[in-house]
Amino acid sequence: MTLHPQVVAALAVRPRPAAEVIDADPLAALVAGRAAMLAAVPAECGPPSPVASVSDVDADGVPCRLYVPAPGVPVLVYAHGGGWAMGNVDIVDAFCRRVADRSGCAVLSVDYRLAPEHPYPAPVDDVETALNWLRREGLGLDVGRVAIGGDSAGGHLATVVARRQRDAGRPLAHQVLIYPVIDPAMSSDSYRDLGGAGLDRATMARFWDLFVPDPADRVAPDVAPLAAPLAGMPPTLLITAEYDVLRDEGERYGVELLAAGVPVVTVRYQGVNHGFVRKLALFDAAAVAADQIAAALRAALV
C-alpha cells in the first residue's frame, strides 16, 4: 500500500507508540496518547477561525462548547472521536468553527466522559444528556431543527443517540457520521487490508475493551448500531476514508440505512486516512469534507 504524501506527513506529526510499549503499561500509554493528541492540535488543525459567539457551557453536568454564528439558527450536536478514551472539544475546535461558519448552524460540541474511567454507557448518556438539555433550554436557537454528528467513536455515539431519540418519539432532522465505529466484532475486510495507516485492529480492540469491557454487552443496540432496526433514522451524510480500517463497516452501515428506507449520501474520500477531517492544516481534503458537511446541514436544516 502506497500512502498519499499528506498521510505520511500527518503520521509523522503524532507518532504512535510501539505495541510493546503499550503492552508494558497500557494505562501509561493511554495517558501519554491523550497528551500527545492535545499537543498536536495546533499542527494538525491550524489556527481557529472566528465565529460570532463561542462559549463553554454546562449541559446538566456535561461540559460542552457552543458555537453560534447568529441567533435563532438550527443546531448540530457533535461528538468528537478518540476511541471513547481520548480527545476533547479542543481536538475538533477548528472543525466545529468551520462548520458553524459555513453552514449557518450552531454547533454544540460535547465533552463527554472518557473510558476507562467512565466506560459504557457513560459517553452515550452524556451526549444524550447534552442534547436533551439543548432542547429544553433553547438558548435562543431553533431547537426544533437539530442534527447530530460525530467522527469515529463520536460517530458511534451520534448514531446511537439518534436511534434512542427516534425510539423516544423525538426524531432528529439529520445525522452526519464521519468514519463511524459500527461493528464491535471488527469483522470487515478493511481491518485486514488497511492496518498500516495509523489505526489498526489492535488499537481498535483496545478501545473496545476500554469502552465496553464485558463482551456480552457488545450485542446491545446501544453498542452495536446494526443490532437495532434502522427504519426512521435521520437522513444521513456518511463519510469514510480510503485508508481506514473502519471504512467498510461505515459503508456497510450506509447500505443498511438505505435498505431501511433512510435517505443516505455515502462518500469515500480517496487518498486519506482515519482522522483526516479535523486536520485542516494537514489535508487538502479536510476543508472539502468540512464544507460538504456544512452544505448538507444547510440543505437539511436552514
**Residues annotated catalytic, as ranges:** 152, 244, 274
- Residue position matching grid coordinates 509523522: 12
**Rounded to an integer, what distance in angstroms lies between the CA atom of residue 122 and that of residue 130?**
12
